[in-house]
Amino acid sequence: MSKTRSTTILAIRHRGEVVVAGDGQVSLGATVVKHKASKVRRLYHGRVITGFAGATADAFTLYDKLEQKLEQYKGNLMRSAVELAKDWRTDRILRRLEAMLVAVDDKHSFLLSGSGDVIEPDDGILAIGSGGPYAQAAARALMDHSELDAESIARAAMEIAAAICVYTNHNINIEKI
């Protein structure tokens, strides 16, 4: 996987809640060109939440493809994610896309990449983008050492990532199942 800059996406599954959080910064090189982008999106009648890191046009292509798979497989996120990963890896056009996706529903959380990865975390935390490792570490510590709910953990972890990563800002968008 290549290192994706310009964002932080964090998914947390904790105490029966599932949240996906994303920051709002869009950067071109070292320049911030947008502060309030929404990189977190609901799919399939609002039952699946996704977040992307990488090239925006590529991410929208992947959103469309995932939505098609969800329709085809009647909302089965696991099957849809696997089928999207297969297409992404084998299709001449799709395999050139430079983005990563996090997709969650009430049962599963997946990280999807163009190299065919469909990864479900052991601990209920997924993070992508340049600020992902900071947000993931903060979320893990907060889950283990606090009584906070999933949304509060996500917000605090994203604030920590934004304080460290120059490609992540404090305009945080959170969607919850």
Which token pair is 57?
């046009």
pLDDT tens string, the chain, 177 residues long: the values are: 444 457 999 999 999 999 999 999 998 888 899 999 999 999 999 999 999 998 888 888 899 999 999 999 999 999 999 999 998 888 877 778 888 999 999 999 999 988 889 999 999 999 999 999 999 999 999 998 889 999 999 999 999 999 999 999 999 999 999
Alpha helices in the chain, H assignment, sequence order = 56-72, 77-90, 132-145, 150-164
Q: What is the pLDDT of residue 95?
A: 77
> Looking at beta carbons, which pairs linking 147-150 to residues 24 or more positions away fall under 8 Å?
149/14, 149/15, 149/17, 150/12, 150/13, 150/14, 150/15, 150/17, 150/18, 150/19, 150/176
Pick the catalytic residue: 4, 7, 50, 168?
7
Q: What is the pLDDT of residue 140?
A: 97
The CA R_g of the chain, rounded to the nearest whole Å, is: 15
Place of tokens 């968008």: 173
Query: Is the CB of residue 150 less than 8 Å from the CB of residue 12?
Result: yes
Output the pLDDT for position 94. 79
3-class DSSP state of 101: strand
CATH number of the 9-176 domain: 3.60.20.10
Using an 8 Å Cβ cutoff, are 5 and 29 in contact? no
pLDDT attached to residue 5: 55
Does the active-site annotation cover 7?
yes
